Amino acid sequence: MPPIRIAVLISGSGSNLQSIIDKIEKKEIYGELVLVVSNKRNAYGLERAKKHNIESLMIDSQLIGKDDYNRQILEAVIEKNVELVILAGYLKILDKKFIEAYRNRIINIHPSLIPSFCGKGYYGLKVHQSAVDYGVKISGATVHFVDEEADNGPIILQESVAVDFDDTPETLQSKVLAIEHELLPEAIKLYCDGKLEVIGRKVSISK
Enumerate the active-site residues: 110
CA–CA separation, 98 and 115 (whole Å) = 24
What angle do the packed helices 169-192 and 125-134 form, to 10 degrees?
120
What is d(CA 79, CA 86) in angstroms, rounded to the nearest whole number? 16
3-state secondary structure of 7: strand
- Of the CA atoms within 13 Å of residue 111, those in its CB half-sphere come to 28
Residue 44: in which H helix or E strand, if any? none
